[in-house]
Structure 1
Amino acid sequence: MDIETVILDLLRSNLVYLLLALLLVVLVVKGVRIVPQSEKYVIERFGRLRSVLGPGINLIVPFIDRVAHEISILERQLPTASQDAITKDNVLVQVDTSVFYRIIEPEKTVYRIRDVDAAISTTVAGIVRAEIGKMDLDEVQANRSQLIHTIKASVEDAVDDWGIEVTRAEILDVNLDQATREAMLQQLNAERARRAEVTKAEGAKRAVELAADAELYASEQTAKARRILADAEAYATQVVATAINENGLEAAQYQIALKQVEALNALGKGSGNQTVIVPAQALEAFGDAFKLLKGRST
Structure 2
Amino acid sequence: MVQELVGAAVGLVGVAGVYAATAARVVKQYERGVVLRLGRLSGGVRGPGFTMVVPVVDRLHKVNMQIVTMPVPAQEGITRDNVTVRVDAVVYFRVVDAANAIIRVEDYRFAVSQMAQTSLRSIIGKSDLDDLLSNREKLNQGLELMIDSPAVGWGVQIDRVEIKDVSLPETMKRSMARQAEADRERRARVINADAELQASRKLAEAAGVMSQQPAALQLRLLQTVVAVAAEKNSTLVLPFPVELLRFLERAQRPADPPPSGDGGTDGEAPATS
Return the TM-score normalized by structure 1.
0.64
* Number of residue pairs aligned between Structure 1 and Structure 2: 212
- Aligned-partner Cα distance in 2 for 1:66–1:86: 51
Please name the residue that 1:55 is paired with. 48
The Cα of 1:49 is off from its aligned counterpart by 1.5
Q: Does 1:147 align with 2:144?
A: no
Q: Distance in 2 between matches of 1:170 and 1:91?
A: 21
The Cα shift of 1:172 comes to: 0.8
State the distance in 1 between where 2:69 and 2:119 align: 18
**2:37 alignment partner, one of 45, 56, 64:** 45
Q: Provide the residue aligned with 1:83 in structure 2.
A: 75
Shift of 1:40: 2.0
State the distance in 2 between where 1:118 and 1:34 align. 26
Q: Deviations over 1:43-84 (max 9, x none)?
A: 111121114212112244x34652342222222222341001
What's the counterpart of residue 19 of structure 1?
A: 11
Q: Which of 107, 114, 138 is the aligned partner of 1:115?
A: 107
Provide the alpha-carbon RMSD of the alignment.
2.4
Supply the AA of the counterpart residue of 2:50.
I
Letter of the aligned partner of 1:185 in structure 2? A
Q: Which amino acid is 1:109 matched to? A: A
Tell me the residue number matched to 1:94.
86
Amino acid at match of 2:105: I
Cα offset for 1:30? Answer: 4.3
In 2: Cα distance, 1:118 partner to 1:67 partner: 22
Residue 201 of structure 2 corresponds to residue 209 of structure 1: yes
Alpha-carbon distance in structure 2 between the residues aligned to 1:123 and 1:170: 15
- Rounded to whole Å, the distance in 2 between the matches of 1:220 and 1:111 is 96
Is 1:125 matched up with 2:117? yes
Match for 1:195 among 165, 183, 187?
A: 187
TM-score (normalised: structure 2):
0.69
Percent identical = 30
What runs of 5+ residues in structure 2 fail to find an aligned partner? 214-273
2:234 aligns with none
1:39 CA displacement: 1.9
Q: CA deviation at 1:188?
A: 1.4
In structure 2, C-alpha distance between the alignment counterparts of 1:111 and 1:71, rounded to whole Å: 12
- Tell me which structure has the larger Cα radius of gyration: 1
Where does structure 1 differ by over 4 angstroms across 4 or more consecutive aligned residues? 219-222
Give the 3 Å change call, closer, same or farther, for CA 179–15 of structure 1 in structure 2: same
| Structure 1 gap ranges (5+) | 1-8, 223-298
